[in-house]
């Protein structure tokens, strides 16, 4: 009987503040061959997403918290290594809600989505044509209702979602301003991704720099970060501006939430529409967005960057890089 060694990260306790290695248990188990109707997938890449930090908390959200002792929730791409189910053969590439483990066993139809490795790099399914790209697309065009000629401000602009937001806005004929940490990332935004301006939020004078970069104000403010940057952007909103609230990474590790934003009162006279959204709400329309994102990425109109940290066992340190910013574009683990 051929078994497969499964290496796994289990949630051992609820983290307080930033994640530490002690919040998890790493173990290995032998997986038997698939029973009738089951498929075994060897994961190749696992996505590291800021949302995972929220799933570790014992708090109600759009998905239930990960149970203590369970494999940590995560999504990835892999290859079928053994199949006892129709429609899946050894070697097939799939995306899967695998969890943080090297072997994923499933019998649920619809869990696995086959992907064509000839169409685009398989890692793109975790980035530009996966959840981050879809978040950018629906957040900007549906929630943000972007029109040609408008000004877009995007925070977390050198990340997986933000970098696609800015480039989609450019394709749509908007003026694009990005916020990122440090001069290198800001240069990357303007020189490589074609943003019209970039603001380094780690430098002094962020409010003034934002005002200078947005001389006609902001029409769509796509916020990935929350906290002081959300407050700073709101001061510059134009009448009838739209604010797709995508994420608040500056607060995910907080043990006490900060007050604010103080600029929220402007939403009334300026008739702002501030709307939170979750990409999964658009699942029925992914088919509309994926071919467009794939075409633009293949044509180079959307540039992609990936930071792939090798080794599943490096999860805790790799995950911390989402919060320190020590990475460019989409962060993932090579399994």
Ligand X SMILES: NC(=O)c1ccc[n+]([C@@H]2O[C@H](COP(=O)([O-])OP(=O)(O)OC[C@H]3O[C@@H](n4cnc5c(N)ncnc54)[C@H](OP(=O)(O)O)[C@@H]3O)[C@@H](O)[C@H]2O)c1
| Segment contacting ligand X by CB under 6 A, of 72-80, 232-240, 287-295, 323-331 | 323-331
Contact residue for ligand X among 99, 156, 170, 233 (CB under 6 A):
156
For residue 298, the Cα-to-chain-centroid distance in whole angstroms is 20
Using CB under 6 A, which of 161, 174, 193, 293 touches ligand X? 161
Q: How far from the centroid of its chain's Cα atoms is residue 86's Cα?
A: 32
Min separation Cβ 66 and ligand X, Å: 16
Three-state secondary-structure class, residue 309 = strand
Q: Shortest distance, CB of residue 86 to ligand X, whole angstroms?
A: 33
Which among 11-19, 74-82, 224-232, 233-241 is the span making contact with ligand X, rule CB under 6 A? 224-232
Map the footprint of ligand X across residues 103-132, applying CB under 6 A.
131-132
From the list 16-24, 73-81, 101-109, 320-328, the region that binds ligand X by CB under 6 A is 320-328
Cis bond before residue 157 (omega within 30° of 0): no
Contacts of 9 (CB under 8 A, 6+ apart): 24, 25, 26, 71, 72, 100, 101, 312, 315
- What is the chain's Cα-based Rg? 20
Confirm or reject binding of residue 162 to ligand X (CB under 6 A). yes
Interaction between residue 76 and ligand X (CB under 6 A)? no
Residues 6+ apart with CB under 8 A from 26: 7, 8, 9, 10, 313
Q: Which stretch binds ligand X (CB under 6 A): 207-215, 264-272, 277-285, 290-298?
A: 277-285
Residue 135 binds ligand X, judged by CB under 6 A:
yes
Tokens of 179: 């916020």
Among 26, 141, 235, 323, binds ligand X (CB under 6 A): 323
Angle at CA 12, nearest 5°, toward 10 and 18?
Answer: 100
Contact assessment for residue 153 and residue 177, using Cβ atoms and an 8 Å cutoff: yes
Closest distance of CB 326 from ligand X, Å: 8
Regarding 185 and contact with ligand X (CB under 6 A), the answer is: yes
**Residue 265 CB, nearest distance to ligand X (Å)?**
23
Q: In this structure, are strands 330-334 and 39-47 parallel, antiparallel, or unpaired? A: antiparallel
Coil/strand/helix, residue 172 = coil
**Of 4-12, 37-45, 166-174, 180-188, which part binds ligand X (CB under 6 A)?**
180-188
Q: Does 40 bind ligand X (CB under 6 A)?
A: no
**DSSP-based helix, strand, coil % in the chain, nearest 5:** 30, 25, 40
Provide the minimum distance between the beta carbon of 104 and ligand X in the complex, in angstroms, as a whole number: 21
CB closer to ligand X, 81 vs 220: 220
Q: Is 250 in the site for ligand X (CB under 6 A)?
A: yes
Q: Does 181 bind ligand X (CB under 6 A)?
A: yes
Measure Cα distances from 40 to 32, 125, 165 in Å. 9, 19, 35
Residue pair 75/126 in contact (Cβ under 8 Å)? The answer is yes
Q: At 211, which helix (H) or strand (E)?
A: helix 206-213
Q: Which two tokens stand for residue 95?
A: 């995306």
Q: Which residue lies nearer to ligand X by CB, 34 or 162?
A: 162
User: Smallest distance from the beta carbon of 219 to ligand X, in angstroms?
Assistant: 20
Residue in 66, 160, 289, 312 binding ligand X, rule: CB under 6 A: 160
CB of 211 to ligand X, least distance (A): 18
Distances (CA, A) of 54 to 65, 82, 155: 8, 33, 19
Nearer to ligand X (CB atom), residue 92 or residue 200: 200
The residues of the shown chain that bind ligand X, judged by CB under 6 A, are 49-51, 131-132, 135, 156, 158-162, 180-181, 185, 201, 224-225, 229, 246-250, 277-279, 322-323, 325, 327, 331
């Amino acid at each position: 009987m051929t078994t497969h060694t499964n290496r796994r990260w289990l949630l051992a306790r609820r983290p307080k503040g930033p994640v530490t290695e002690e919040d998890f248990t790493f173990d290995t188990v032998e997986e038997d061959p698939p029973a009738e109707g089951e498929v075994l997938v060897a994961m190749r890449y696992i996505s590291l997403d800021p949302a995972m930090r929220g799933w570790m908390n014992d708090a109600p959200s759009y998905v239930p918290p990960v149970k203590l002792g369970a494999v940590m929730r995560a999504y990835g791409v892999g290859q079928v290594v053994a199949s006892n189910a129709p429609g899946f053969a050894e070697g097939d590439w799939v995306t899967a809600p695998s969890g943080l483990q090297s072997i994923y066993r499933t019998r649920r139809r619809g869990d696995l989505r086959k992907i064509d490795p000839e169409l685009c790099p398989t890692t793109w399914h975790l980035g530009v044509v996966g959840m981050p790209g879809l978040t950018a697309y629906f957040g900007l065009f549906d929630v943000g209702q972007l029109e040609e000629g408008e000004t877009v401000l995007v925070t977390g602009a050198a990340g997986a979602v933000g970098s696609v937001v800015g480039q989609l806005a450019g394709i749509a004929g908007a003026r694009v301003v990005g916020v990122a940490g440090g001069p290198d990332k800001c240069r990357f935004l303007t020189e490589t991704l074609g943003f019209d301006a970039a603001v380094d939020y780690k430098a002094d004078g962020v409010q003034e720099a934002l005002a200078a970069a947005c001389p006609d104000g902001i029409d769509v403010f796509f916020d990935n970060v929350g906290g002081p940057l959300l407050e700073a952007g709101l001061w510059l909103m134009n009448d009838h501006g739209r604010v797709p609230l995508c994420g608040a990474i500056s607060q995910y590790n907080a043990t006490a939430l900060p007050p604010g934003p103080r600029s929220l009162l402007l939403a009334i006279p300026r008739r702002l529409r501030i709307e939170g959204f979750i990409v999964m709400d658009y699942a029925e329309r992914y088919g509309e967005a994926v071919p467009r994102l794939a075409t633009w990425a293949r044509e180079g109109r959307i540039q992609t960057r990936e930071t792939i940290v090798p080794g599943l066992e490096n999860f805790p340190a790799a995950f911390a890089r989402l919060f320190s910013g020590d990475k460019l574009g989409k962060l993932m683990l090579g399994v």
